[in-house]
Structure 1
Amino acid sequence: MTKKELNTFLQSTTNKIKDNVLSKVYDQLALQPGLRANLNPAFPYPHKLRVGIINNCLAVEYIGPNNDNEDNFNYEGVYNEYLDVYDFLGVEIKHLKCISLPIQTNIENMSFFLGDSMTYLTDYFYDLTQLPYEYLQFDGFVDFSKPTEPIFVSNTNFFWTDEEGLLKIKHIDFLEIFPRDEEGNVYYQDTSALDNFANFIINYKVPTYKTELHGILNEFIELINLRDVSEPQITKFLSDNPKILQLAFGVNELNPEVLLKWQYNTDKDDLKPDFLPIRMDGYADLMEFKLPYLKRNPMVGTPERRHSSFEINTAISQLDTYEEWCSQKINTDWLEQNKNIKILHPRRFLIIGHSKDFLKEDRAKLRNKRNTTVFTYDEFIEMTRFQLYRMR
């Protein structure tokens, strides 16, 4: 298929989808606004539409969230005989040793944890009890890369670790897969099938989608991408909009910027941690947000004597001071009596930088030697996005 032929096919397919599916879903949503609560967030008009002519199938991915008041959307086409569905989706798991089960049925409301992703997530304060998904599968997945009949994938997640050990996440809002025929030809649905598909989407309920929280997350992403953003700005935004932080870490009570006063005479300044999140046992932890952009490498030195940089050391030293305050019973008794917050042997969480800034081994060393779990901004955002799309 030439580039011109691909563009013609893409334009034709996109127009058919827009005219026969998306516009009908839009019209129905206008008549029944209450449908939004359980309508897939990639409809009526997706944030992006991807069409792939690949290996042995035609794949159409609807990527949310959408803007209900905007009928324009981005789209792109991919033609590559060597790609399978997972390549098309960007789910790079071929390097992993995990169980795959070929399947020819629709896949709905599932989460797959592959590689070291589960260890990775639990290291980062991730609470599985908050997952709203119906089915969880560890170290295995249903393989839909070789379909023999049309199927769809809805509200499904892949968590995995790449070849460098970094966490990766792919959320699938809605995906259609059509096998190619014996001659290798690709096709899309006819008009009557598209009408049926539109009706299906209108009546197909997914767990409640909280649209207002997506807007808040977008504002946060915009904020942290400002080069002159300050730490107080970040903390204030999260304090004013606690739900996205609660979603990411699975906690309900955050206790932002609680003033910790020393309960004896000292020259030390009183303290104000960014957050004292309450874990499931009722005790608080320490959580500090720093800037998303590091000034230099977080770890320095030779391979034999690799250690944290001044920037990281300064942030960890701040957590050291908080923990020093928490280690003295006169202080913690005052905190419980006056703020109704219990704290004892708190875990320490530092949100700073991006995943590309840290090696997996470096973060493990910080946990083991400095008692600090480093969580990056892109991980925080992906965790929030994963949770906010599907809240029961």
Structure 2
Amino acid sequence: MTEENIHSTIRPLVTVFLQELMKEYWGPLYNHIKNNPALIKTVPGFLLDHQGIIVYVGRTHIAIEYTGPEVISELKNEGVMQVQCHDYSTKDCNLFEQIIGFEYDSTLDLSMPLPPFSEDLLLPTNKGWDKLSELGWNFAAQNSIMGFNIPSPEPMPGQFTRIVNGMFFDADESGLKSRRIKWLDFFPIHFDGSEEKSDCISFSVSNMKKLVNHDANYSYPMPDDYKYIQLPKINRFIEVWGNKDNTEPDITSHIARKENEFILTMKFGAIEIHSELTCEWQSEPRSPIRPDFFVVQPNGYADIVEFKLPDIGKHAIVGGRNRETFGAWLNSYISQTRVYSSYFDDPNNRKWFEQRYGFKVHKPRRWLIVGRRHDFDSDVWREIMSDYKDLEILTFDDLIDGIVVQFYK
């Protein structure tokens, strides 16, 4: 287990929590599957193949989110578990909204208690509902628990809560925002902040023993075409960008393969994609540019998608309070996409490009794919991002979520 992303102040709490979970749940679940090998084909793979988990510490709950493959073919005897952690214990907030990354905009001034167990939740914000309707989302295509104009969902204090295959949506001027949760468990905690110099947090996971047999026999809900046709391709893409030895060209060349083009066409609503087209300047002597991808929309105009690495290893935001700004490395990426936009501001360039490649680009929206969701999770980040025109930054997690949820339409 690696714990680089665990803050030192809550490291002891998270370490003990994971150790107890291993003793009371993960270990017994592994042994149960080992003794009943026929269950390997149906048990949710990420409960056993811990490629990554995310721990969220709040005032009333500790939550754990599983990432990884939905299906596995064998049990692993050993492996490395990547642990990410977010500490909201000192913040008066809705832990669920912090996890999904956006706030609900209901006209009702109250909260919605999450039930102890929820499968196939589909809960858009009001803006999300409007955007889904505009895009022609088929709400009747699957069995889901849906809500309209719902207040902010929250786990009840003192109650264990589980969300399985939850899909949550919001929207802004850049378009639809998707957040899929494969499996999320909320464990109730007792938080005592009465001491001036320290806080006391207590919890229990002993009841997880009772869920071992249930979870071992649980079949994760997935549409067949996703499970048997596209899921292996998406998993392979995750393996490519999840390998730190792979470069940006490794990632983009993988997506550019014909069998993988659906990754971008589904996410960006495109009818076709074109990779690394050379754009020669017509009005001034400058070196040609080659954006990673053009994603052509149904109206015949294309937007630009540029990939960077998922493992950034640097701070996205620098500067003191009220003087925050993006780090120099991120600003350099943004400047690169700005050059792309400048190229298509010149009508001579646009004419040359259309004649050569057969589609139009004018005032393109620029999409920068970089980092992981935990790299961009602060309110300050969203405030800075709102100052940029025609630019949207997506994480690799956002990209995958935006694809997967469409299989449930």
Regarding TM over 0.5, the answer is yes
Q: Which amino acid aligns with 1:220?
A: W
Following TM superposition, by how much is the alpha carbon of 1:373 offset from its aligned partner in structure 2, in angstroms? Answer: 0.8
* Number of positions where the alignment pairs a residue of Structure 1 with one of Structure 2: 343
Kindly report which structure 2 residues correspond to 1:1-392, keeping only aligned pairs within 5 A, or say none: 7=19, 10-20=22-32, 22-23=33-34, 26-30=37-41, 40-43=44-47, 45-47=49-51, 62-65=66-69, 67-71=72-76, 72=78, 74=81, 87=95, 91=99, 99-104=110-115, 106-112=117-123, 129=137, 134=144, 135=146, 140-146=151-157, 152-157=162-167, 171-175=180-184, 187-188=206-207, 194-199=212-217, 201-202=218-219, 205-207=221-223, 208-209=226-227, 210-222=231-243, 229=247, 235-240=252-257, 241-259=260-278, 272-289=290-307, 311=332, 312-313=334-335, 315-324=337-346, 328=350, 330-331=351-352, 334-335=355-356, 339=357, 341-343=358-360, 345-351=362-368, 359-367=381-389, 372-375=390-393, 379-390=394-405, 391-392=407-408
SS of the residue 1:319 aligns to = helix
After superposition, the CA RMSD in angstroms is 5.7
Unmatched runs of 5 consecutive residues or more in structure 2 = 1-12, 190-202
Q: Which letter does structure 2 place at the counterpart of 1:351?
A: L
TM-score after normalising by structure 2: 0.58
Q: Secondary structure at the match of 2:153?
A: strand
CA offset at residue 155 of structure 1?
0.6
**What is the DSSP-based 3-state SS (H/G/I as helix, E as strand, rest coil) of the residue aligned with 1:277?**
strand
Cα distance change, pair 273–96 in 1 and its aligned pair in 2 (3 A): closer
Cα contact 2:295–2:303 (8 A) shared by 1: yes
Aligned equivalent of 1:164: none
- Indicate how the Cα distance of structure 1 residues 64 and 323 shifts in structure 2: closer, same or farther if over 3 A, else same: same
Deviation at 1:277, TM superposition (A): 0.7
Letter in 2 for 1:101: M
The 8 Å contact of residues 59 and 175 in structure 1, kept in 2 or not, is answered as: yes
Question: What is the CA deviation profile of residues 300-339 of structure 1, one whole-angstrom value per residue up to 9, with x for unaligned ones?
Answer: 9xx99x99988444541233113425775x536624xxx4
1:37-82 deviations in Å (ceiling 9; x for gaps): xx64525544457899998889776543265334346499x9x9x8
**Structure 2 contact 62–186 (Cα < 8 Å) conserved:** yes
Separation in structure 2 between the aligned mates of residue 58 and residue 270 of structure 1, nearest angstrom: 51
Go from structure 1 to structure 2 and tell me whether the alpha carbon gap of 1:88 and 1:101 turns closer, same or farther (over 3 Å shift). closer
Look up the equivalent residue of 2:181 and give its one-letter code. I
Q: Distance in 1 between matches of 2:314 and 2:17?
A: 47
C-alpha distance in 1 between matches for 2:153 and 2:169: 14
In structure 2, what residue type is equivalent to 1:91?
I
8 Å Cα contact 2:25/2:209 also seen in 1: no
TM, length-normalised to structure 1: 0.60
- Which SS does the other structure have where 2:294 is aligned? coil
Aligned residue for 2:182, secondary structure, equals strand
For residues 294 and 45 of structure 1, what CA distance do their matches in structure 2 show? 25
Question: What secondary structure, in the 3-state scheme, does the structure 2 residue paired with 1:254 have?
Answer: strand
Query: Secondary structure, in 3 states, of the residue corresponding to 1:65?
Result: coil
Secondary structure in 2 matching 1:343 = coil
Moved more, 3-12 or 276-285: 3-12
Q: Secondary structure at the match of 2:69?
A: coil
1:321–1:218: structure 2 CA closer, same or farther, 3 Å change rule? same
CA gap 1:323/1:86 in 2 versus in 1, 3 angstroms:
same
Relative to structure 1, the CA distance from residue 361 to residue 93 in structure 2 (aligned partners, 3 Å threshold; closer, same or farther) is closer
SS in 1 for 2:296: coil
Q: Are the equivalent residues in 2 in contact too, given 1:290–1:350 (CA < 8 A)?
A: no
- Shift of residue 351, structure 1, vs aligned partner: 1.7
- Asked whether the 8 Å contact 2:344–2:363 carries over to 1, the reply is no
Q: Tell me if the contact between 2:370 and 2:395 (Cα under 8 Å) persists in the aligned partners.
A: no
Alpha-carbon distance change, 242 to 146 in structure 1, aligned in 2, over 3 angstroms: same
User: Hey, what does 2:6 align to over in structure 1?
Assistant: none
> Whose strand proportion is higher, 1 or 2?
2
Structure 1, unaligned runs of 5 or more = 162-166
After superposition, the C-alpha distances for 1:216-240 in whole angstroms (9 at most, x for unaligned) are 12312435x76xx4x6555434323
**1:57–1:352 CA distance, 2 compared to 1 (3 A):** closer
Question: What's the % identity of the aligned pairs?
Answer: 16
- Higher RCO (CA 8 Å, separation ≥ 6 residues): 1
Report the secondary structure of 2:395's partner residue.
helix
Residue 154 of structure 1: how far off its partner (Å): 0.7
Alpha-carbon distance in structure 1 between the residues aligned to 2:265 and 2:400: 12
